[in-house]
Amino acid sequence: MRDLNETNITDAVLAKVRQSENPRVRQISEALVRHLHAFVRDIEPTQVEWDAAIEFLTRTGQMCGATRQEFVLLSDALGVSMLVDAINHRFPGGATETTVLGPFYVQNAPERDLGDDISNGMQGEPLLIEGSVSRINGAPLVGAIVDTWHADGGGFYDVQNATGQEGLAGRSRFRTDEHGRFWFRSIVPAFYPIPDDGPVGEMLKSQGRHPYRPAHVHFMIGYPGCETLVTHVFLAGDKYLDSDVVFGVKNSLIKSLEFQDVGETARGNLVDQPMKALRYDFILTEERSAVA
């Protein structure tokens, strides 16, 4: 433990972290030391640069609180959140693909009746959303919980209190009907920037990147015995589809808006005004513990 230098210090630190009795802690600690030391050797930071890195992480932590998690933004903007999501959702072919939860999810959103309008004062074009939930074998999932939320026509979520509406808006929970179907009405969401007035925003600017996410509707869908699905449906044609700041876009999750006239819809529902329509059918996979 004496006379350590750049050629032997890594081995010395590894010898210490290997003393952990917990094999997972030992595995993670060893990997952390190896990769972090390799990173430092690769970039050879000056002391000023390393001090700036510590200060950046300090300010990132200081911006974390009950209404904002700057470290989650950092994880998102570096693609780490999507990498973790991909590792943890190696679903079989045919299942709907996942993407990140995002920072605007609200637990226990109000449950509404199928066909209800959830916009509650949000500004934007009227939107019809119709979909279904089934297993990979095509069997409909009756009574599945469909949790949904999205931004308004200006790119703001209700919790940001930007549009003046009272209470929750653009979010709700539904239960699929006897055919595994659901439908509701709202407004067309817009693209929006992640919060960029902190350290993560500074990082994006220094990297020559924008802070925007393409327009999308969030879904969290659960059913007993199935893996809970967390995903988005992205609106086709959005200018940020190929440069999503959190790297969350997948081709299978992009859908074009259709035109829906007054009267009966393609899924047999009734609307009383013309509007845009977004239709998507979700496929859930069996719970991994149940498969095993």
- Is residue 177 scored above 80 in pLDDT? yes
Residue range 145-169: mean pLDDT, rounded: 82
- The alpha carbon dihedral of 118, 123, 124, 126 has a sign of positive
Share of the chain above pLDDT 70, in %: 97
**Which has the higher per-residue pLDDT, 17 or 158?**
17
Q: Which CATH superfamily is domain 81-291 in?
A: Aromatic compound dioxygenase (2.60.130.10)
| Average pLDDT of every residue of the chain | 94
Residues 257-276 have pLDDT tens digits of: 999 999 999 999 999 999 99
Residues 216-232 have pLDDT tens digits of: 999 999 999 999 999 99
**Other CB atoms closer than 10 Å to residue 62's CB: what's the count?**
11
The structural domains of the chain, with segments of one domain joined by +, span 9-77, 81-291
Residues 183-229 have pLDDT tens digits of: 999 999 999 999 999 999 999 999 999 999 999 999 999 999 999 99
Residue range 38-49: mean pLDDT, rounded: 98
∠ Cα 192 194 195 (to 5°): 125
Residue range 49-57: mean pLDDT, rounded: 98
∠ Cα 191 235 287 (to 5°): 105
Quick check: helix, strand or coil at residue 279?
strand
Residue range 111-139: mean pLDDT, rounded: 95
**Residue 292: predicted pLDDT:** 41
**Residue 160: predicted pLDDT:** 80
68-99 b/e with 16+ CB inside 10 Å = b? ebbebbbbbbeeebbeebeeebebeeebbbbb
**Residue 290: predicted pLDDT:** 46
Q: How confident is the model at residue 291 (pLDDT cuts 50, 70, 90)?
A: very low
The answer to whether residues 73 and 136 touch, using CB atoms and an 8 Å cutoff, is no
> What CA–CA distance (Å, rounded) separates 285 from 52?
45
